[in-house]
Each structure stands twice: as structure tokens, then as C-alpha cells.
Amino acid sequence: MADSIFTTIESLRKELHQFNYAYYVLDSPSISDFEFDQKLKTLQSLERQYPQYDDPSSPTHRVGGTVSKSFPTQTHEYRMYSLDNSYNEKDLELWANRAEKTLEEPIDFVAELKYDGASISLYYENGKLKSATTRGDGFQGDEITFNVKTISDIPLTLNGDYPERFYCRGEIFLSRARFERLNAQRLEQGLDPFMNPRNTASGSLKLQDSAEVRKRGLSALIYQVVCSEPVAASHFELLEKAQFWGFKTSTHTKKCASLKEVWEFISYWQDHKQDLPFEIDGIVIKINSLSQQQTLGYTAKSPRWAIAYKFPSTAQQTQLLSVSYQVGRTGALTPVANLKPVLLNGTMVKRASLHNEDSIRKLDLHENDFVYVEKGGEIIPKIVGVNHDLRPSGSEPIAFLTNCPICGTALEKLVDQAIHFCPNELHCPPQVVGKMIHYVSRKALDIENLGSETIEQLYEAKLLETPADFYTLSREMLLPLDRMAEKSVQNILQAIENSKTVPFEKVLFGLGIKHVGETVAKKLARTFPSIDSLMQAPTESLLEIPDIGEKIILSLQSYFQNAENRHLIERLKSYGVQLEQSGEAKEPLSDILKDKTFLFTGKLSLFTREAAEAMVQEHGGKNASAVSSKLNFLVVGEKAGSKLKKALELGTVEILDEQQFLDLISGS
Ligand code: AMP
Ligand code: ZN
């Protein structure tokens, strides 16, 4: 009896999966909605009566109802990169030429629509959907499996010759029709309408109740298969296979033998994108051959084998009113464009970053130009182009400032850098204040409760001019300041007192010497027992320290040559600030890799194996000699072989490339 029930349940599930596939993927329903609902209800009631036969892949799980209080973070086995952007034919040509030059052979392209939604990584094992994770920062995202299961375009079980384990990546979005229907409903209920389909789609994925997610009616299209097994020779073939396994792929994807064909595809969709049932914000062009993709590899941010072409209309046009400049702690100047306010993806934009002089020149930006602004990954939008047709006559190119906008000192620019900076380190107000804010920061002297506003007030009241002045502050000086009570004054004074026990390496970092970051400061403080011995160190002995190069040495020397800096150091010493090693045992650079084991394999190109192993130790990790279930990370260089294979078989080892390893130890 029980067996025959199980058989019925299984066959209902199979039927429903097939109907679902016919309906959502092939777009040709094989039974009526009514029949479908009847069968689903029968299955639901059987599963309720016989809970022992429940299966997370059953089509009944699409109905939703699981409430997630929070979504666990999941690390991506393969990093989810972003895409480089291009805005015209020339950008595309440059990209293709570069690839062709590396490959030294002809290339075929695949052109795809760039769906405007939220990307998702779907993990399948033995033909069953195991987990679904958002892109997050590309290294790790939120696991939202329950919510994703409610999306009918995403198969829960697969057909055919799928690989044992692999990832499918795609975009989850809301069709225009669904979006309009949702908004009509919301207006009826007296709720504010949603701003745009993209934000609504990504917001819907994070709803706590998966039954609510189901009601939103999200769609999905798959655009990539990531698998360690050689399943196909080309990206296009892989997509065809994926469709056969049960995934929904776009019918508009096109193989292109030349850039000319790619450009025709782009032009066509530029004119016809409104005819699509969903929004796209561009076209993605990929190199078809998977072995060519592998040869090209990745930059720190994106694959070299793919590029996005962004439609100009996704950028908004507005007018440049003026350019202003911000001066940072190190004296670096950042130009900022002040714009005529414009609505961009639902927010009013008034300013955009211009980065530096080179980027202004590259844009060929003139006064009062009409510009295209776009929101990238950053909070501050950027200018992506200029509408030359609307340039006011007689408008001059934007000339970069020659003098600091705050203190008037002539700006300097290093030969090998694009950045201008104000060299008046010791007296340019934002630099002076910035240095003091840096001095009290958590990784430096960690003087809690002393915020940047308080420091600014004290600076304006001429009570603070260098970090040494912190040690002369008194209750009487602090109390009259805005929002300062007896208790907070006590806390500040106590924290300043406590900073006298902060170890030398942190004090050295806190001085804010150019190019002396946290790690460099640690290395210096461990090599030289005191600031005096560091000041007297000959160049040769500085050069012997790993990773300490000429740039750092020059910066140190010019810092110590300055009489005001030497005076500061003497004063800090006199107040009892630690300017020498306290003689305690060396601690590692960080414990970021604590309890983690690493193994390196293949041909490494960013560092040697010895250096890599030393880095692991310096950050509290351990080096392993072989792949085993105890291994946490395998870092693979080129031509990795049996170790990689073994690690993949185990499935418990996280695979990193060299850049990912560096990102990991730098904590980014
Ligand atoms: P961006 O966020 O501008 O760096 O663009 C990368 C994103 O484009 C990916 O994370 C995907 O979510 C999305 N995307 C949309 N359509 C495609 C496609 N056909 N191929 C690759 N990525 C796509
Ligand atoms: Zn200045």
C-alpha cells in the first residue's frame, strides 16, 4: 500500500515537472491551468497525509510559505564577477582587438540581451536544485533558496545528461506586465507604487515569506553554466544543453561571426527593446569558445572574455553647472561635478564624481556641457559621456585647478600618478584635521568618543593643531563645545590617557606618513625597535625589508627631514606615547586566516609559493601539504592538475585564484 502511494506521488511530481517545463520554458502548455491545479492539489494532500515522502524538490514547494527571518551568507565557489562596460562601437573594437591579440586566433562571439534584474547563482547536485544565492559582493551572497524555489522558470529537478554538480547563473526579473499589475494592485490598496521593475525584483527576493515572493510573479532567464567538467566546447552549446536540462534561456541569444554582426544585433535591440516583455539595459557580448575564455581569464573585477554594451538611454542627460574640488586627508584632490538635478533610477542626482584630471580629459568635458550620468556600483553616480551636439558655443574645456582650493598652495602631481595633491601637508586645514582624525581612528591610537566633528571644532577654536595637542586637552577646554557633557568629557580624557599604552606599530601607523599603511607600519615597527632607530636607518637596511620599496622609503625620509614632524615626535614622546617596541612577543599581522589551512597548486604568477606560504603564516593560517578533507582553501595558479581535481571531488575545499587569495588576506 505504502509503496503504491509513493509511486503515485512520484509520478504526479514527474508529470507536474514536465507540465511546468512545457509551460514556462518551452512556452507551449500541454494541459490546461485547471488540470494543472487539480493535480497539484492531489499531490499536496497526499504529501500532507504521508509526510515521510516529502521531498524538497517537489513542485508543491513552489507554493512557498516558508518564512525566513534572515538569509545565511554563502561563499561563492566560483566568484561572480561583474562586467566591463562599453558605450560605443570603438570600445567594443578595442576589447575584441585586445582579446584577439592575446589569443592569436579568430574569435566567434555570442550576443545576449542584458536583462535588468538581480543575478542569482543556482547550485544543482544530482539534478536537484540545492541552493540559490544572490550575487552579493561577488565573493559571497545571501542564500535565498526558499524564495527562489517559488519562481516557476527555475527547475527544481533536471532532465537528461546534466553534470553531477554545477552552477547555473541567471537573472531574476519582473516582466513589464507583472510590474504594472502589481502597481495597479498597490494603488488600489492605497500603497505607494514601486519605482521600477529592477528594484522590485531584487526587493522581492528578500521578502521573508516565500508565499509573498510567489505572488510577485518573478521570472528568470539563465545566461551561464559554471562547471568543472568539460560538458561542451562553447558557451552557446552550453546554453542549449541547459535548456534541454530544463532551464529557461533566451530565444534571442545570437552567435555572431564578426563584430559587424554584433553591432547589427546591438542596433536592432536598441530600436526594438520596447517590444520585449521585460526591461533590458544593454547587450552582453561574450567570446563563444570556452577554451578561449579560459585563456583570457579575468581582471580583478571582470572577465576579459565578456563585455556589456550599455544603451545610452539608461544614462540620464543633464547639464554640468560647475566643478568643485574636495581635499582629502592625504592632500589628494577629487573633482566633483555639480549637476542640474536629474531623476536617476528613482533618486534625485545633483553631483557626480569625476575621479581625476585624466578622466575629465578622457570625457573631453567642457563648461556647461550636457552629460550622461549613470549609477554604477558606487553610491555617487558618474558621468559616462558627453552629448557633443548640445555643447554651448564657445565653451572651454574644464581646466584642472592649479592651486589648492582651501589653502592656495600650488598643486603637485606625481609623474606616474593621475592624482593632483596639495603639498602643504602640515598647514592645509583639511589635511591637518584629516591627520588628527586618522590619529584617533580605531586601527591607530583608538581614541574612542573623539569624533571628527569634535576634532573640527577644537581645530577651529585653535585648541588642536597636531596630534600632540590631544595630550594637552583639559576638561575646561572640552566642556564648552557643542553637545559636550561632563560624562563625555571624562570618557574622552580617559581614552586619550589610555592611548599612551597603544603599541608602537599602531602609533607609527597613526602618524599618517604617506604610503605607511597598517601593514607597512607593522613591518617597520618589527624591524626597528624604536622611532629613533627607524629615523637613523640607512636606505640599504630599509630596502632589505620585504615589500618596502623606494616610494615608501622616500616618503619616510622626507617625513623625518621635516623639523615640524620631528618636533611632533619629541612632544609625543614627552607625553608618554609608545614610540618604541615594548619587547612583547611578535604577534602575527592579523588573525584573519585563523584555523584555516591552505595549499597552493599550479603555476603561480602573482607571487612565489614561498611568499604565499609566508603570507598564510603572517595572517595566522596554516599551510597543508596535500588535499584532504581537513583542507579549507586550495589556491590555484595556471595549469592546476590532480590537486584541483581531488579538491573538486571532495567538494569541501574552497577554490581560490591568486587574486582572490590576496583579496582574502587584505580583508576585502
Ligand atoms: P554589471 O552589474 O553592470 O557589472 O553587469 C553584470 C550583471 O549583468 C551580472 O551580474 C548579471 O546580473 C547581469 N546580466 C544580465 N544579463 C546578462 C547576460 N546575458 N550575461 C551576463 N550577465 C548578465
Ligand atoms: Zn591645501
pLDDT tens digits, one per residue of 451-479:
888 999 999 999 999 999 999 999 999 99
Of 113, 198, 284, best ligand 1 pocket probe by most atoms within 8 Å of the beta carbon = 284
Q: What is the mean pLDDT of residues 335-348?
A: 84
* CB of 283 closer than 6 angstroms to any ligand 1 atom: no
pLDDT reported for residue 584: 52
Which of 118-132, 353-367, 435-449 holds the top average pLDDT? 118-132
The catalytically annotated residue of 14, 69, 114, 375 is 114
Which of 310-314, 492-496, 589-593, 627-631 holds the top average pLDDT? 492-496
pLDDT reported for residue 585: 42
Q: Where in the chain is the domain with CATH 1.10.287.610?
A: 2-63
**Gap between the Cα atoms of 169 and 223, Å rounded:** 6
Q: What is the mean pLDDT of residues 378-387?
A: 77
Ligand sitting nearest the alpha carbon of 424: 2
User: For residue 124, how many other CB atoms are within 10 A of its CB?
Assistant: 25
Ligand 2: distance of its center to the CA of 420 in Å? Answer: 11
Ligand 1: distance of its center to the CA of 376 in Å? Answer: 13
* CB of 171 closer than 6 angstroms to any ligand 1 atom: yes
Atom from ligand 1 closest to the CA of residue 118: 12
CATH topology of domain 2-63: Helix Hairpins (1.10.287)
Least confident range from 6-10, 62-66, 133-137, 545-549: namely 62-66
Q: Where in the chain is the domain with CATH 2.40.50.140?
A: 316-408
**Gap between the Cα atoms of 664 and 306, Å rounded:** 25
Q: For domain 504-574, say whether CATH 1.10.150.20 is its number.
A: yes
Give me the helix-helix angle, 563-574 and 550-561, nearest 10°: 80
Name which residue leads in pLDDT, 154 or 616. Answer: 154
Percent of the chain with pLDDT over 70: 96
Name which residue leads in pLDDT, 394 or 604. Answer: 394
Q: What is the mean pLDDT of residues 265-273?
A: 91
pLDDT reported for residue 314: 61
pLDDT reported for residue 362: 83
Residue 583 confidence (pLDDT) above 90? no
pLDDT reported for residue 2: 63
Q: Residues 57-116: pLDDT tens digits?
A: 888 888 777 777 788 999 999 999 989 888 888 889 999 999 999 999 999 999 999 999
pLDDT reported for residue 377: 43
**Gap between the Cα atoms of 4 and 637, Å rounded:** 53
DSSP string, 400-454: PPSB-TTT-PBPEE-TT-S-EE---TTT-HHHHHHHHHHHHSTTTT--TT--HHH
Q: Residues 489-548: pLDDT tens digits?
A: 999 999 999 999 999 999 999 999 988 988 899 989 988 889 999 998 888 888 888 778
Q: Residues 386-439: pLDDT tens digits?
A: 888 889 999 999 999 999 999 999 999 876 677 899 999 889 999 999 999 999
**Gap between the Cα atoms of 186 and 192, Å rounded:** 7
Residue 379 confidence (pLDDT) above 60? no
Q: What DSSP element (H or E) covers 157? A: none
* CB of 120 closer than 6 angstroms to any ligand 1 atom: no
Vertex 528 angle, CA 525 and 530, to 5°:
80
Instruction: Please name the residue that has the C-alpha cell 543633464.
Output: 318
* CB of 82 closer than 6 angstroms to any ligand 1 atom: yes
Q: Where in the chain is the domain with CATH 3.40.50.10190?
A: 597-666
Cβ atoms of residues 374 and 318 within 8 Å: no
DSSP string, 494-542: HHHHHGGGS-HHHHHHHTT-TT--HHHHHHHHHHSSBHHHHHH--HHHH
Instruction: Please name the residue that has the C-alpha cell 504521508.
Output: 50
* CB of 284 closer than 6 angstroms to any ligand 1 atom: yes
Question: Is 114 a known active-site residue?
Answer: yes
Q: Where in the chain is the domain with CATH 1.10.150.20?
A: 429-501, 504-574
Q: What is the mean pLDDT of residues 35-53?
A: 85
Q: What is the mean pLDDT of residues 145-160?
A: 94
Buried/exposed 323-342: b ≥16 CB within 10 Å, e otherwise = bebebebbbebbbbbebeeb
Ligand 2: distance of its center to the CA of 430 in Å? Answer: 7
Atom from ligand 1 closest to the CA of residue 310: 3
DSSP string, 78-134: S------EE-SHHHHHHHHHHHHHHHTS---EEEEEEE-SEEEEEEEETTEEEEEEE
Name which residue leads in pLDDT, 384 or 244. Answer: 244
pLDDT reported for residue 526: 85
Name which residue leads in pLDDT, 34 or 523. Answer: 523
Least confident range from 228-232, 332-336, 616-620, 643-647: namely 616-620
Q: What is the mean pLDDT of residues 223-231?
A: 92
Nearest CA to ligand 1 atom 2: 82
Instruction: Please name the residue that has the C-alpha cell 554640468.
Output: 320
Residue 183 confidence (pLDDT) above 90? no
Vertex 613 angle, CA 608 and 616, to 5°:
130
Q: What is the mean pLDDT of residues 245-273?
A: 94
* CB of 135 closer than 6 angstroms to any ligand 1 atom: yes
Q: Under CATH, to which class is 75-310 assigned?
A: alpha beta
Least confident range from 54-63, 186-195, 213-222: namely 186-195
Q: Which residues contact 198 (CB under 8 A, 6 or more apart)?
A: 116, 117, 118, 173, 174, 279, 345
Instruction: Please name the residue that has the C-alpha cell 592656495.
Output: 408
Q: What is the mean pLDDT of residues 624-643?
A: 87
Name which residue leads in pLDDT, 524 or 664. Answer: 524
Q: What is the mean pLDDT of residues 576-587?
A: 74
Residue 198 confidence (pLDDT) above 90? no
Q: What is the mean pLDDT of residues 166-192?
A: 89
Ligand sitting nearest the alpha carbon of 280: 1
Superfamily of domain 429-501: 5' to 3' exonuclease, C-terminal subdomain (1.10.150.20)
316-408: CATH number: 2.40.50.140
Residue 568 confidence (pLDDT) above 50? yes
Q: pLDDT category, 39, cuts 50, 70, 90?
A: confident
pLDDT reported for residue 345: 63
Of 223, 226, 311, best ligand 1 pocket probe by most atoms within 8 Å of the beta carbon = 223
Collapsing DSSP to helix, strand or coil, 357 comes out as helix
Q: pLDDT category, 450, cuts 50, 70, 90?
A: confident
597-666: CATH number: 3.40.50.10190
Q: What is the mean pLDDT of residues 643-651?
A: 87
pLDDT reported for residue 378: 46
Nearest CA to ligand 1 atom 16: 114
pLDDT reported for residue 620: 82
